[in-house]
Amino acid sequence: MLHTILVLCPALGALIVGLFGRYLGDRASQIITCGLMAITALCAWIGVFTYMGEPAFKVHWFTWISVGGLEADWSLRIDSLSTIMMLVVGFISFLIHVYSVGYMSHDPSKPRFMAYLSLFTFAMLMLVTSDNIIQLFFGWEGVGVASYLLIGFWYTRPSACAAAMKAFIVNRVGDFALMLGIGALFLVFDSVSYDVIFNKAASLADTQIVLFGGTFQTLNIITLLLFIGAMGKSAQIGLHTWLPDAMEGPTPVSALIHAATMVTAGVFLVARFSPVFEFAPSTLAFVTFIGATTCIFAATVGMTQFDIKRVIAYSTCSQLGYMFFACGVGAYQAGVFHLMTHAFFKALLFLGAGSVIHAMSDEQDMRKMGGIWKKIPLTYAMMWIGTLALIGFGIPGIGGFAGFYSKDAILEAAYASNGSFHLYAFWMGVLAAVLTAFYSGRLIFLSFHGEPRADHHTMEHVHESPPIMTVPLMVLGVGAVIAGFVAFGMVEPEGNWWGGAIFTGPENHVLHAMHEVPLWVSLAPFFAMAFGLGLSWVFYIAMPGTAPKIAAAVRPLDNFLRNKWYFDELYDRIFVRPALALGRGLWHGGDQGIIDRFGPDGVAGTTWGTALRIARLQTGYVYHYAFVMLIGVAVFVSWYLFLQR
């Protein structure tokens, strides 16, 4: 009953406010959605204290699909992994609902926005509690639809509509691979149930499948398809281009979807299918390589962005890379650990950025900020907490902020692993730690310090956000400080934190090995963080003219990074322009040249023209009709005589 209430409360809120919000009004709509989300958050906390470490069990709702050999129940799978995810989704979504009451106070469509938030939360909860892959796909597509609605919420803005369409289309690429993976799972395992798939995975580790004339390991192909689906949802390199553009949506959307929940669905998918991935070494190598490459790619781009939300968006992309290469080296627990801590501090950073934007009269360009830290001290303090958690500030052997525990665990696991590309992942992770500290310090120093760069009117109106916005910030701030210390047991090799929810193969000893790495490996993230943060202080506080000079000295590199490695331009040249050319060709040559010409303008046009000409004979004069009759008689007589020959 607890988990049924937890999942259905957001659905109820979305249904009530979505259908009747116009009649209920703004305040009632906000109370209903926030109140129901509060129940969800409370149930999520109860679930953590009750079910963490316990064996998995199911809450059966009904039989959903029963067609031939395909059977799928609608059930909730409750174990340590889904319990952690329910806490992340439910609790942070509740805080964002509350924050949205203040942030969207001047928007005329508040009930619609709150309904969309609740709809997204319901879909995400269905995803993380799924007991079969089809039920997961329902939630997977549900969050896709909800994200489309939320990114394009301000539909009068062409940029928001374009961003929503881009997110939807790019995700369809990954989802196509995911659908193929689901079909392959049913083909090979003859079931879509997790229990059946996980129990059979080891026995199929050495089987092969023939594909396009080649022979491949069966589980490598299946997991590769699943991971490509995860790449789209979690914005990994190649399918990442939608994430920065998605910042066109309201800031609470960025915090909920693109920091704390939806983009982590891919990491959840890999962790959930760890019993299958563990027997697919080639896919794990690919996961490691893609995650490490995304990690460094997004960090390099984040250094050059000036939109405060886009900097945090690229940071999200980079941190997702950490989570994926943790899974790739076999440390699924470390990946989920970072997922949980990241949800707190990245949601804090996004909502803190929203508070800055609110204070700066909707300005998002950091070049037009500065000198405001004394005017919004609470937001400033919360942004520092989020930043210190993101860069992993802490002292080895003593402790630190949330990211200190989870990011360090990932880097230590990468070094200790025996998997392919593990050292590549380690060094890319260390370098990304330097860049993360640099662009995070850059964001703080450009936004809050130095001389004011906004106009006089904007500076006069800079003010702290109301309590409805700052209280959620402070709650997230507490999580950003203590979450890593409290949940460090997630990566302990001993104990029963996970209760079997995550599987590690008999040859996977990474959780033991990561605690025995050399001292320099443990110290490397600390020095990387200190160097990156110190460098940003030099560039933007001590010597503020240094960064533009360096950018001018390496202009080609600066342009390359500022233009995001030219991925958008490349895709425009390879996919968008040919698609437009094909569309225009089919339009002019197909629709107009064939269908219209021989359809409406051909047979139909000829029929219409003939009818008009015949209608002219209907004059009403008897001698005209007699003349036509005589012509008809002459035609019939001529035809008869012709046939008699």
In our burial notation (b when 16+ CB lie closer than 10 A, e otherwise), range 135-173 reads bbbbbbbbbbebbbbbbbbbeeeeebeebbebbbebbeb
DSSP annotation of 467: H
Contact 263, 320 (CB under 8 A): yes
pLDDT digits (tens, 9 = 90+) for 45-89: 999 988 888 888 888 888 888 887 788 888 999 999 999 999 999
Contact 252, 354 (CB under 8 A): yes
3-state secondary structure 203-262: HHCCCEEEECCEEEEHHHHHHHHHHHHHHHHCCCCCCCCHHHHHHHCCHHHHHHHHHHCH
Both structure tokens of 384: 């520092």
**Listed range (104-108, 416-420, 641-645) with the worst mean pLDDT:** 641-645
- Residue 561's contacts (CB-CB under 8 Å, 6 or more residues apart) are 300, 301, 303, 304
Mean pLDDT of the chain: 89
Contact 273, 189 (CB under 8 A): no
Please say if the pLDDT value at position 645 is more than 70: no
Of 223, 219, 272, the closest CA to residue 503 belongs to 272
555 sits in which H/E element: helix 555-562
CA 50 – CA 38 distance, rounded (Å): 18
pLDDT digits (tens, 9 = 90+) for 364-412: 889 888 888 888 999 999 999 999 999 999 988 888 999 999 999 999 9
How far from the centroid of its chain's Cα atoms is residue 470's Cα? 25
CA 230 – CA 239 distance, rounded (Å): 10
DSSP annotation of 62: E
- Give me the helices (H) in 25-132, please: 26-51, 80-103, 110-128
Written as one letter, the residue type at 388 is L
pLDDT value for 31? 94
CA 473 – CA 95 distance, rounded (Å): 8
78 sits in which H/E element: strand 70-78
Going by pLDDT thresholds of 50, 70 and 90, the confidence category of residue 260 is low
Most confident region among 211-215, 334-338, 457-461 by mean pLDDT = 334-338
Cα distances from 617 to residues 622, 625, 626, in angstroms, run: 11, 8, 11
Of 274, 283, 86, 284, the closest CA to residue 197 belongs to 274
pLDDT value for 42? 94
In terms of DSSP bridges, do strands 57-67 and 70-78 run parallel, antiparallel, or are they unpaired?
Answer: antiparallel
Contact 167, 245 (CB under 8 A): yes
pLDDT digits (tens, 9 = 90+) for 192-226: 999 999 999 998 888 888 877 788 899 999 999 99
Using only the alpha carbons of the chain, give its radius of gyration. Answer: 30
3-state secondary structure 322-384: HHHHHHHCCCHHHHHHHHHHHHHHHHHHHHHHHHHHHHCCCCCEHHHCCCCCCCCHHHHHHHH
Contact 263, 257 (CB under 8 A): yes
**Listed range (139-143, 243-247, 560-564) with the worst mean pLDDT:** 243-247
pLDDT value for 291? 95
Helix and strand totals (H; E) in the chain: 29, 6
Of 239, 440, 271, 411, the closest CA to residue 346 belongs to 440
Written as one letter, the residue type at 261 is T
Going by pLDDT thresholds of 50, 70 and 90, the confidence category of residue 601 is low
Contact 80, 489 (CB under 8 A): no
Q: Tokens 């506080």 map to which residue?
A: 541
Q: Is 213 left (phi over 0), alpha (psi -120 to 50) or beta?
A: left
In terms of DSSP bridges, do strands 214-217 and 208-211 run parallel, antiparallel, or are they unpaired?
Answer: antiparallel
Q: Is 233 left (phi over 0), alpha (psi -120 to 50) or beta?
A: alpha
Instruction: Find the largest Cα–Cα distance for the chain.
Output: 116
Residue 395 pairs with which residues in a beta bridge?
399
Q: How big is the CA angle at 129 (ends 149 and 404), to the nearest 5 degrees?
A: 85
Residue 193, SS3? strand
Count of other CB atoms within 10 angstroms of residue 605: 14
Written as one letter, the residue type at 500 is G
Percent of the chain's residues with pLDDT above 70 = 98
Going by pLDDT thresholds of 50, 70 and 90, the confidence category of residue 620 is confident
Both structure tokens of 541: 């506080």
User: What does the chain come to in residues?
Assistant: 645
Please say if the pLDDT value at position 8 is more than 80: yes
